[in-house]
């Protein structure tokens, strides 16, 4: 009999208990952990009940941990009409609660994200935080998460008069950071923009989630130049960007300084630092640029007499040199030696002060240039995210932003790819927070922050593509929009024993009536942990619609009218897919349902088969 897909996220609590049982089997009995035994197992001294220790604690922490670990029966529904280049893009825009989104991404992107950048609510008393429900156990949470919230309200104001002002903010951040850490590669990092209001708590919570040894730096970013008088006691002109590693061992080489041997080349020094004179040649020994000497002679050929090569990548080098100091010297044969002043590089270590990397005012101007209106408050500038990305992100890495706001991060990724031909991919997550009806954004037709973010990516992507038409011909400026929603399955799928006799008709079709075949496909991709950006092809086989994902990753037929015959299954098996999925009620009869595994075993024995 074929196995059914579970169609909900993993129960992390159960997985953690299993891991503990493997390490300390005597500390687990009947699926329950004996915490006193476990404490003793992890201590070098005798444990006698509770004792004081250094830790971060707040009202609601245990509930926040429960929320992080609890499974949900939700899904991501594709929205083609709001997407750009849906069939070919490798970028994602997920609209919905980021706690749900992070849980839904756990299997597909576990250990695959190179960089996370987030700009969460700063908890100034004037912004909103997520209204997570902590007052329920795992079973209740799973049951509730099958359904939409009645009022669909996930954000709440957090005024300073709130008796749990800091606790509520910590309870929001804690589960999200725990889930985010799971998604990072071993050599991955997380950057968090924050100000004084929660800087201390953010550092403490990161110490707990990532470990103190993985703290890399707290950068000071000059976010204003002049002004800054909105603060009560001091003109504040900076914010912070915290950097933590998933595992600092993997980053040691990245942050090494240049060696002493390399530094010995820089023999002179002036007010701007150390330097040496280098010949105006590339590593190949060829000179790529025409140079006019003091006597008017133009050096326009390389040392072999060939005309100079004019390359786009070299033009950028030329601009750098023109901004510096050049020295001409006559050699014995009356020819010219051309040299330029080579400054001592800063090394690979990033500097803790981030200066001249844009301000919030620059971020506002960028949006103004795109929308011709001031539609978002204090967005981060593209140059800041580009600077942070340059520290860690390589040409094919994935970056995640689960507080994406106006989608500065997506804009930055497309700009970086246009500049160096990279293939970086982004995943943006944003809750559809309502725009104030009095705001310029609402008047311009944008009902939610998510609407602003999606439109920014569309407009910025097209502008970047146009500005780089000759060099960025294959630039990916698209994105698949996926929306967090309740499961595609009726309650009977998850709790068949709870259905009474009046609801027996639900057994006939356990799929909700308003869900499409493509909705079902994306829930299957999530459950199997398959990349959500893989190409999807629709084929017609034996008169039925079949989804073929990435040639042979998955074949899926969601026929629900009892039309799946043995002849159809034989044709499908000829594709020899890695996985195949059918609707449980779609088989023509019980005989076909029983024989499906045998048919695949004969034609495509490596195929894994499941039903929903």
As for how many domains the chain has, the answer is: 4
234 shares a domain with 285: no
457 shares a domain with 560: no
In DSSP terms, 276 is beta-bridged to: 342
Domain boundary among 431, 460, 484: 484
In a domain, 203, yes or no: yes
Domain CATH number, residue 105: 3.40.50.150
Tell me the HSE value of 98 on the side-chain side, using a 13 A CA sphere. Answer: 29
Retrieve residue 423's tokens. Answer: 């293939």
In a domain, 133, yes or no: no
Domain boundary among 343, 373, 408: 343
Quick one: pLDDT at residue 312? 37
599 shares a domain with 501: yes
In a domain, 224, yes or no: yes
Stated as kind and residue range, the H or E segment containing 38 is: helix 35-41
Tell me the HSE value of 79 on the side-chain side, using a 13 A CA sphere. Answer: 17
Q: Which domain holds residue 440?
A: 78-128+176-255+354-484
In a domain, 69, yes or no: no
Q: Kindly state the DSSP code that residue 110 receives in the 8-state scheme.
A: T
CA-CA-CA-CA dihedral for 462, 466, 472, 474, to nearest 10:
50
Distances (CA, A) of 461 to 73, 410, 418, 483: 34, 9, 10, 21
361 shares a domain with 331: no
Quick one: pLDDT at residue 256? 59
298 shares a domain with 241: no
119 shares a domain with 32: no
239 shares a domain with 362: yes
Three-state SS at 406: coil
Quick one: pLDDT at residue 51? 57
184 shares a domain with 105: yes
State the Cα–Cα distance between residues 221 and 224, nearest whole angstrom: 9
Low-confidence ranges of the chain (pLDDT < 50): 134-136, 147-152, 282-286, 310-316, 320
In a domain, 67, yes or no: no
In a domain, 25, yes or no: yes
100 shares a domain with 13: no
In a domain, 382, yes or no: yes
The model's pTM: 0.78
502 shares a domain with 599: yes
236 shares a domain with 363: yes
Which residue is associated with the tokens 């800041």? 384
What lies within 8 Å, CB to CB, of 440 at 6+ separation is 373, 374, 375
Quick one: pLDDT at residue 253? 58
Give alpha helix (H) positions in 75-187. 98-104, 106-109, 138-144, 165-183
409 shares a domain with 427: yes
3-state SS, one letter per residue, for 244-258: EECCHHHHCCCCCCC
User: Which string of DSSP letters, residue by residue, matches 556-594?
Assistant: EE---SS-B-HHHHHHHHTT--SEEEE-TT-BSSHHHHH
In a domain, 73, yes or no: no
Which residue is associated with the tokens 């470990």? 211
Retrieve residue 110's tokens. Answer: 């576990």
């Amino acid at each position: 009999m074929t196995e059914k897909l579970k169609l909900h996220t993993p129960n992390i609590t159960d997985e953690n208990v299993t891991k503990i049982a493997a390490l300390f089997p005597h500390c687990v009995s009947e699926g329950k952990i004996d915490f006193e035994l476990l404490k003793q197992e992890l201590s070098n001294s005798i444990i006698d009940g509770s004792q004081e220790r250094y830790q971060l604690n707040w009202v609601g922490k245990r509930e926040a941990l429960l929320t992080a670990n609890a499974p949900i029966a939700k899904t991501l529904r594709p929205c083609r009409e709001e997407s750009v280049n849906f069939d070919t893009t490798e970028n994602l825009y997920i609209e919905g609660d980021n706690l749900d989104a992070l849980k839904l991404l756990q299997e597909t992107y576990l250990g695959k994200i190179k960089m996370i950048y987030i700009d969460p609510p700063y908890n100034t008393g004037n912004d909103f935080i997520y209204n997570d429900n902590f007052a329920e156990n795992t079973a209740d949470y799973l049951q509730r998460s099958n359904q939409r919230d009645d009022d669909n309200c996930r954000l709440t104001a957090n005024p300073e008069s709130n008796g749990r002002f800091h606790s509520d903010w910590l309870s929001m951040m804690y589960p999200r950071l725990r889930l985010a850490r799971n998604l990072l590669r071993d050599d991955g990092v997380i950057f968090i923009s924050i100000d004084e209001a929660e800087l201390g708590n953010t550092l403490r919570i990161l110490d707990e989630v990532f470990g103190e040894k993985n703290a890399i730096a707290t950068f000071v970013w000059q976010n204003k130049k002049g002004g800054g008088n909105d603060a009560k006691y001091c003109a504040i002109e900076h914010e912070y960007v915290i950097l933590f590693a998933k595992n600092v061992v993997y980053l040691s080489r990245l942050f090494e300084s240049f060696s002493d041997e390399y530094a010995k080349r820089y023999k002179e020094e002036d007010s701007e630092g150390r330097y040496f004179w280098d010949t105006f040649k590339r590593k190949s020994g060829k000179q790529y640029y025409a140079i006019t000497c003091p006597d008017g002679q133009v050096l326009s050929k390389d040392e072999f007499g060939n005309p100079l090569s004019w390359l786009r990548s070299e033009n950028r080098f030329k601009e750098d040199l023109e901004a510096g100091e050049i020295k001409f010297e006559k050699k014995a044969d009356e020819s010219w030696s051309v040299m330029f002043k080579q400054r001592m590089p800063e090394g690979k270590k990033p500097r803790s002060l981030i200066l001249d990397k844009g301000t919030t005012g620059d971020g506002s101007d960028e949006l103004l240039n795109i929308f011709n209106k001031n539609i978002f408050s204090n967005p981060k500038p593209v140059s800041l995210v580009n600077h942070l990305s340059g520290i860690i992100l390589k040409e094919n890495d994935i970056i995640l932003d689960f507080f994406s706001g106006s989608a500065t991060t997506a804009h930055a990724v497309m700009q970086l790819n246009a500049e160096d031909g990279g293939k970086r991919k982004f995943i943006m997550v944003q809750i559809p927070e309502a725009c104030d009806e009095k705001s310029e954004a609402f008047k311009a037709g944008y009902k939610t922050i998510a609407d602003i973010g999606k439109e920014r990516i569309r407009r910025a992507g097209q502008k970047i593509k146009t500005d780089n038409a000759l060099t960025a011909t294959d630039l990916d400026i698209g994105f698949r929009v996926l929306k967090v929603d309740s499961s595609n399955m009726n309650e009977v799928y998850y709790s068949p024993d709870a259905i009474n006799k009046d609801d027996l008709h639900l057994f006939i079709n356990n799929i909700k009536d308003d869900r499409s075949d493509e909705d079902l496909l994306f829930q299957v991709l999530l459950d199997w942990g398959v990349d959500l950006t893989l190409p999807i092809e629709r084929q017609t086989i034996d008169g039925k619609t079949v989804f073929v994902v990435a040639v042979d990753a998955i074949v899926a037929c969601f026929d629900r009218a009892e039309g799946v015959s043995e002849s159809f299954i034989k044709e499908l098996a000829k594709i020899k897919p890695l996985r195949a999925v059918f609707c449980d009620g779609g088989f023509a009869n019980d005989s076909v349902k029983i024989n499906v595994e045998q048919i695949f075993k004969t034609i495509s024995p490596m195929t894994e088969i499941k039903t929903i």
